Structure 1
């Protein structure tokens, strides 16, 4: 049977060529996590790997909104302490 196949023009490697800017990796995910992303992706009409990539990209972004600083924390604490009634009053 081996004589029936001609692999002289065959090439080793992935069937799908690598895309520029992307890396093929193997990652272990919990079954429930994978099921969640597959369900979400199907509802949105996109691939689950695309959805996982988008969520990972969001996680890379710096937090939005006001940043808590020492000065702002002190201000809030002063205001809250001033608003408290003294004990026994």
Structure 2
């Protein structure tokens, strides 16, 4: 069976609603990561079938959700 789709000349969008996900779009940034960090997420990507960039994003989203803060310990000059 062959279906032919005929487009209308005009469409009425007066009842349309704004995309609710527009504020959740991703923002492209440049970030420098150490090689071992990238390697770690690439191995996870191979195991899970999810891209390493997506895995890094998922991990960071989890940090935001749980309000995780990095443990910073500075060496003293003593």
Range of TM-score over shorter length = 0.5 to 0.7
**Separation in structure 1 between the aligned mates of residue 66 and residue 45 of structure 2, nearest angstrom:** 25
Q: Which residue of 1 aligns with 2:46?
A: 42
- Structure 2: any 5+ residue segments left out of the alignment? 1-23, 68-78
Secondary structure of the 1:54 match is helix
**Separation in structure 2 between the aligned mates of residue 62 and residue 36 of structure 1, nearest angstrom:** 22
Relative to its length, the structure with more helix (as a share) is 1
Pick 1 or 2: higher relative contact order, CA cutoff 8 A, min separation 6: 2
**Separation in structure 2 between the aligned mates of residue 55 and residue 46 of structure 1, nearest angstrom:** 12
> Please, what is the CA RMSD of the aligned residues?
1.5
- Per the TM alignment, residue 62 of structure 1 is displaced from its structure 2 partner at its CA by 2.8
Largest Rg, 1 or 2:
1
TM-score by length of 2: 0.52
- Structure 1: any 5+ residue segments left out of the alignment? 1-19, 64-89
- Per the TM alignment, residue 35 of structure 1 is displaced from its structure 2 partner at its CA by 0.2
Deviations 1:7-66 (A, max 9, x none): xxxxxxxxxxxxx71111110000000000000011101100000000000101236xxx
Q: Which residue of 1 aligns with 2:36?
A: 32
